[in-house]
Amino acid sequence: MLNIRKSNKTDHEFLVLIDLKNDGYTLLDVVDMTEQNKEEHSKKIEGYLTDSDKGAFIIEDSASDKPIAMIMYSIANRDSVYPWKTIYNELDRNLFQIDGRFIEIFQLWVHPSYRRLGLATKLKLKLEEEAQNHKVNLIYTHTEEINNHVIELNKKIGYQEVRRGPIWDEVIRVSLIKQLSYAER
């Protein structure tokens, strides 16, 4: 049986491990992290367990009592100035609610043995409930242009493409949003 739940502090090691996993399409040169970089990364992921504007949901297989899928997100603001490259200011301001807040999907992962069973969809729908709880009307995500399966999955559940191009490197990524009707604009 599969169970979906909000993450907690005992999930920290799992979330760190999955975030460091090179499970995407573009293979990057993996450089060993220094102890300081590992500690900084661990603290960053800890924020998804402790910060009220961040969170994660996990799907567990109760038969093995192991996590098999997860989604991490943060409540961001389109109008904020970020210390890293974003494309938010390239998106039409009218897409966002008055206060500029939206949910950004930070990481979505499903164990290879459980892919194409609808778990990513379940996690994204759970995230829509979370958006409603936070009175947020827009969810943002992006994926690599060559990741056609994920692009189609997003479109199937109501996401629309709003941008195509590089973000922080030369890889072409597709930015998608889903506007939610129940939050105030």
Q: Which domains does the chain have, with CATH numbers?
A: 2-179 (3.40.630.30)
Q: Residue by residue, what is the 3-state secondary structure of the chain?
A: CEEEEECCHHHHHHHHHHHHCCCCCCCCCCCCCCHHHHHHHHHHHHHHHHCCCEEEEEEEECCCCEEEEEEEEEEEECCCCCCCCCCHHHCCHHHCCCCCEEEEEEEEEECHHHCCCCHHHHHHHHHHHHHHHCCCCEEEEEEECCCHHHHHHHHHCCCEEEEEECCCCCCCEEEEEEECCCCCC
What is the predicted pLDDT for the residue at 105? 96
What is the predicted pLDDT for the residue at 185? 46
Q: Record the pTM.
A: 0.89
What is the predicted pLDDT for the residue at 23? 58
Per-residue pLDDT tens digits of the chain, which is 185 residues long: 899 999 999 999 999 988 887 655 555 545 567 888 889 989 999 999 999 999 999 999 988 889 999 999 999 999 998 888 888 988 999 999 999 999 999 999 999 999 999 999 999 999 999 999 999 999 999 999 999 999 999 999 999 999 999 988 888 999 999 999 864 44
What is the predicted pLDDT for the residue at 182? 61
What is the predicted pLDDT for the residue at 31? 53
